[in-house]
Amino acid sequence: MTQQTAGCAVGGFTAHNVVLPDGSQTNPQLPVLADGQHAQAALRMALAVCPPVGGRRRPRVVDLGCLEGGFAVEFARAGYDVLGIEARADNYGRCEYVRRQLQLDNLAFVQDDVRNLADYGHFDIAFCSGLLYHLDEPAAFLNLLGKTTTSLLLLHTHYAEIEPNPNYGLSDLTRHEGLEGRWFQEAPTGEWHSREEMEALPWASWCNSASFWPLKRHLLMAVQRAGFPIVCEQFDALEDIAEDPYTEYHSRSMFAAVKIGR
């Protein structure tokens, strides 16, 4: 039987079920994050492109908008030197709880806005999952990733479609940052009014009240222009490549972008 984080002062894990060293799980109602294809595909690509090699410094990974730290943990367990960046205090508190339980010296978290990424130096790998579609200037952020990432960008994100996806209430097609796409309203009343209001929605944007979702081809062009000449879609992030309707239903996929001549 799985134990929940017994005696844990930090409950309320919303999405990341991490198995802790004592065998307890941060949210046993969810599948174990490490067992899912999302985490496994990310690690598969990271290990293929930029593996930790004995004797050399550990490759650095940044987990952007890391929520409860689950993916950061799995990169650290695989031997990377990992920094998770998370804006929300409650989410960050859960990351820190997990870190204390694991006691890995290659796992760290900071509470900050990902737009301050340049303050933390360069990273071999940027893991950008569930974050880009919460930004109002995705192309500017991709350019920042192009400057701070030396090897691999792993991008798991929604994008806009020419035919609107009925599952998401987006704006009409428009142009922003030179890209075609649609706006997604984040703040329930149109604007964020306080930190407390933003904290109450643990998965939402931070400070920007709307986010811009480029069309897929425009998104991938922006990735390439940011300095990643190789841009691929990573289908093994699906649980079942032939049958899983995830990509079509959510207008969302995983992409791997690689720099040449590291």
Ligand X SMILES: C[S@@+](CC[C@H](N)C(=O)[O-])C[C@H]1O[C@@H](n2cnc3c(N)ncnc32)[C@H](O)[C@@H]1O
The answer to whether 10 contacts ligand X (rule: CB under 6 A) is: no
Strands 179-185 and 174-176: antiparallel
The answer to whether 81 contacts ligand X (rule: CB under 6 A) is: no
| Contact call for residues 128 and 27 (beta carbons, < 8 A) | no
53 vs 236 by CB, closer to ligand X: 236
CA distances from 115 to 14, 31, 48, 111, 120 (A): 24, 31, 28, 12, 11
- Residue 151, Cα to own-chain centre: how many angstroms? 17
> Rounded to an integer, what distance in angstroms lies between the CA atom of residue 111 and that of residue 93?
9
Map residue 169 onto helix, strand or coil.
coil
Binding mask 146-185 for ligand X (x = CB under 6 A): ----------------------------------------
The answer to whether 134 contacts ligand X (rule: CB under 6 A) is: yes
Q: What tokens does 171 get? A: 């704006």
The answer to whether 138 contacts ligand X (rule: CB under 6 A) is: no
Q: What tokens does 237 get? A: 């992030």
Map residue 252 onto helix, strand or coil.
strand
- Interacting residue with ligand X among 82, 131, 132, 139 (CB under 6 A): 131
- Interacting residue with ligand X among 4, 8, 10, 15 (CB under 6 A): 15
Please, what is the minimum distance in Å from the beta carbon of residue 50 to ligand X?
19
| Contact call for residues 151 and 127 (beta carbons, < 8 A) | no
**Region of 113-121, 158-166, 219-227, 228-236 interacting with ligand X (CB under 6 A):** 113-121
- Interacting residue with ligand X among 130, 146, 181, 214 (CB under 6 A): 130
The answer to whether 25 contacts ligand X (rule: CB under 6 A) is: no
Please, what is the minimum distance in Å from the beta carbon of residue 1 to ligand X?
26
Phi, psi of 160, deg, nearest 5? -85, 160
**Region of 47-55, 61-69, 221-229, 238-246 interacting with ligand X (CB under 6 A):** 61-69
Positive or negative CA dihedral for 171, 169, 247, 40?
Answer: positive
Map residue 142 onto helix, strand or coil.
helix
> Rounded to an integer, what distance in angstroms lies between the CA atom of residue 131 and that of residue 110?
16
- Interacting residue with ligand X among 5, 25, 37, 91 (CB under 6 A): 91
Binding mask 30-49 for ligand X (x = CB under 6 A): --------------------
Q: What is the DSSP letter of 9?
A: S
13 vs 228 by CB, closer to ligand X: 13
Give, as ranges, the residues between 199 and 228 that touch ligand X (CB under 6 A).
Answer: 203, 205-206
Map residue 63 onto helix, strand or coil.
strand
The answer to whether 99 contacts ligand X (rule: CB under 6 A) is: no
Contacting positions for ligand X (CB under 6 A): 15, 65-67, 85-88, 91, 113-115, 129-131, 134, 203, 205-206
